[in-house]
Structures are given as C-alpha cells and as structure tokens.
C-alpha cells in the first residue's frame, strides 16, 4: 500500500517535518511505501485564482500544478496530513492546497440542480495537527470539536474520504516532542489498519 504524506511547514527543521519523517518510518517498518509532498519546499502556490474559480464554475481543466497534486493523491491509498495549528485551524498553505486541489469534478461532483456526489470514498485520511496550547485550552473553548467539524467533516467527509486518524499533538513547545515523534511513528505503522483513532 502507498501513502501520500503532505507537510505544510516552512521550516524543514521543524517538529512538523520530523513528525512526517516518523510517519514515513512507521510506514516503511510496516512494509508500505510513501511519498512526501513538502508544500513549502516545493513552492506550491496556495492562492485561489480566477483559473481555479473557472474549474469550479465551468469545469475548466485545472492548472498543471493542481493536476500534479491530484495525480499524487490518485496514486495513494491513504493521505496523511501533518501540519501546525494556526489560529485554531489549518495553516494558509494547507488550506490553499485543499481549496485548489479538492475541486468540483475531481473530489466531488456538484451542480446547481444536482446533489453532491462524493468521489473520494476510496481515500483514507490521517490528520496530525501540532499545537502549542494544552488539551484543556482546546476543550475549554471548543476548538477540538470545531477543528473536527471544519476539517474532518467539512472537508474530507464532504468528499467521501474516511478520516481514520484525527490526532491533536499538543503542548508541542513544552517538552513533549519525543512523545509526539513516537506517536507519529506508531500512526505510520498502523496507517492501513481499519481502527479509527481520534484524540
């Protein structure tokens, strides 16, 4: 089996990149292959332009960079997103990737008089979100549920993809990095198991 690991962080020495590497190590240990999509390192442009809007409204052919990202997902049996939490959500780079790549005609089929057809039912999704706040802050303010609502359900369930793992790796600046790295490797080892993981 093959996984696409998408990393959205500008610093290759970040904990986010280290976590992605541990997911990859876990996949390798379990006999699976992977590809890493380093959105910042590869210079992915997250700006949703008129050309992207034409894909949605008029079913125009997506720009070449979008087609390349869709092809990477099409080659994968699982999609792993590793990202820092910015303002209680996805960083702009990753949100722009979703906005541009998960388009009408590929991720869904939708029209004014048609029900939404979910086209990514074959994709398993694993989310690893890195945050500096503690679990109490996330729960006290409802951010954990808000993130699941907007990301797990609002993006991936809307396209039919199954979110198998939705993991908040919190207190990342308070000495928990080693534990998070171990968690990431364990998640990599079980990416292709059917047991949903959420915390």
Q: How many residues comprise the chain? A: 199
Conformation bin of residue 147: beta by default, left when phi > 0, alpha when psi is -120 to 50: alpha
Tell me the pTM.
0.94
Conformation bin of residue 31: beta by default, left when phi > 0, alpha when psi is -120 to 50: left
At residue 1, the pLDDT reads: 95
Topology, domain 2-191: Rossmann fold (3.40.50)
Interacting residues of 20 by C-beta distance below 8 A, sequence separation 6+: 5, 7, 36, 80, 82, 184
Convert the pLDDT of each residue in 87-107 to its tens digit.
999 999 999 999 999 999 999
């Amino acid at each position: 089996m093959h996984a696409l690991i998408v990393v959205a962080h500008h610093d290759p020495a970040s904990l986010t990149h280290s976590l992605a590497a541990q997911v990859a190590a876990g996949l390798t240990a379990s006999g699976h292959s992977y590809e890493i999509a380093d959105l910042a390192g590869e210079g992915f442009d997250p700006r949703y332009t008129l050309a992207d809007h034409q894909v949605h409204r008029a079913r125009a052919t997506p720009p070449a960079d979008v087609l390349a990202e869709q092809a990477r997902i099409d080659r994968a049996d699982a999609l792993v997103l590793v990202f820092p939490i910015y303002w209680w959500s996805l960083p702009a780079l990753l949100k722009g990737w979703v906005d541009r790549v998960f388009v009408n005609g590929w991720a869904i089929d939708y029209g004014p008089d048609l029900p939404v057809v979910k086209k990514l039912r074959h994709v398993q999704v694993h989310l690893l979100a890195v945050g500096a706040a503690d679990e109490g802050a996330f729960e006290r303010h409802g951010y954990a549920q808000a993130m699941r609502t907007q990301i797990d359900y609002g993006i991936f369930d809307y396209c039919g993809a199954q979110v198998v793992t939705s993991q908040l790796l919190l207190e990342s600046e308070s000495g928990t990095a080693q534990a998070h790295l171990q968690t990431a490797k364990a998640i990599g080892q079980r990416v292709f198991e059917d047991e949903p993981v959420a915390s």
